[in-house]
Chains A and B, each alone.
Chain A
Amino acid sequence: MKAAPVSFARDGPLRVFVADEDSARRATLSEIIVRAGHELVSSKGDADVVFSATTGSRSQYQMVANGGEDSERSGVLDLDARIDQIDAALRAVAAGLVVRMPQVAEIGFRAIDEVDTDELMTPRELDVLNAIGEGLTNKAIARRLEISLHTVKFHIESIFRKLGVRTRTAAIAKASRLHRTQTLEL
């Protein structure tokens, strides 16, 4: 009798220790862990992953697999990372991988970019793109924006074309990078 292949399925929540001396910040970080679907532990020794946030002009989330060294900083995410990204990063770090935001060094000290008019979306398309980023189905998007399903699909086609992508996941990834680099505060 042939042995069944062994599969590794870690579907359960990870045990996460939130490391922060400030109680208000610790509460905020803890809420994020719970929303990401994981379990909080009160002692570092019991944790699979240690989660914290750096302070300073470019704050980021940091996660380290328990037993990993602090200086390795196995997982670094920007503060605007989505919950599903934080969940994925926690799991990857627990599995011994290194996680970074895409092209973190891309921002840097930059000149004012001229606007590339071909890539720009209309306000409606931005609404649809934000909704896709939140994980809404096309039907839910239609309901939220009070437009027909047909119109939603029409907008999505245009969005994909302007972003140069073919899947929803790629659209979300590219959109979040564009959002960071295109947002201007005046």
Chain B
Amino acid sequence: MATQSDILVLVSNALAGRAGAAEGDVAAIRVAGGGHRTATVWRPDLLVASEQSLPKGDTFDTVMAGGVATTARLVGRDPGTNVALLRLAQPSALGISGNGMTQTGALASAFGADGNGGVTARLGAVNYIGPQWHSRGGGKISARILLDVRLSPWEEGGPVIGAGGDRIGISTFGPRGRVLAIPAETIESVVAVLLQHGRVARGWLGAAFRPVAVPDALQAQTGQAVGLIVLSVAAGGPAAKSGVMPGDILLAVDKTPAMRVRQVIPRLDADSVGKAVNLDILRGGALVTIQAVVEARPVT
């Protein structure tokens, strides 16, 4: 009969076995200053890294399993889903985990690259799984997966693997250091678009906003308590071309109230490029409607 300590040894060895197998799933991308970032070997010749952690650059020195050095060339970046895609000069010959799903409460291992061809390991529960959500960058993520793990800064971008050995997604820092997983399903769709186009098209108005309270005196006139004040307008962008100015208060986009940012941002998806939108604006105490033509968001 298995004693309690036997079971623990079994579990621990199994987890260690997972970590060993994960060596083929991670790569270290060297960055200036001698450090590195973790990337996940998504396909034998493709790496996926956390876009927010990857410095600007075209080609990066990379360390693969066993310390094998090669280079990786940037294919494209999508801040909307935090995916950066790179192509390896030398494809990996090791096995890669397949994609899978998970559930709240299930075990998840988050692996990172140690910089010398080995892995680092973190273990925790899947803390929460929520429905589809939109990031501030305008990307659509198929599920909100929160993990009960801590990560070191260089571990972000590594694979999150379930107990069965399936790849749940890529680890990512959310607000206040919380750790999320970008689901494998989302990564697959973004990878497909980046491979084809080198970028993910998003609608762009070309202005920076922040939420403001509509001055009391004007709330009755506008019927709204909240607007988005224009902080700056990108030169030559759709807002600039249509005459939007800093200080204007955006009240609605095609009648969707500006305060419902969660509804406004999805309207600026890839399909919106080339379409005209009506911007209801408060300028100097008067209501004005301006039409702007959405353009594709420029690559930074």
Contact = CB atoms under 8 A, between A and B. Distances in A.
B176 A106 contact: yes
A132 to B, nearest CB: 17
B192 interface: no
B38 interface: no
Interface size bucket, B side?
35 or more
A42 to B, nearest CB: 23
Contacts, number: 116
A182 B175 contact: no
A184 B136 contact: yes
A55 B32 contact: yes
A115 to B, nearest CB: 5
A103 to B, nearest CB: 7
A55 B55 contact: yes
Nearest to B172: A109
A184 B174 contact: no
Contacts of A4: none
B261 A105 contact: no
Contacts of A103: 176
Contacts of B54: 56-57
A6 interface: no
Contacts of B122: none
B180 interface: yes
Contacts of A183: 208-210, 231
Contacts of B259: 115, 117
A186 interface: yes
Given A55-B32, A55-B56, A115-B261, 7 more contacts: A57-B52, A58-B52, A108-B172, A108-B174, A108-B176, A117-B259, A122-B214
26 contacts: A55-B56, A56-B32, A57-B55, A71-B33, A71-B34, A103-B176, A108-B52, A108-B174, A108-B178, A109-B50, A109-B52, A109-B82, A109-B135, A110-B175, A111-B133, A112-B265, A114-B261, A115-B259, A120-B212, A121-B212, A122-B215, A123-B229, A123-B247, A125-B213, A184-B228, A186-B268
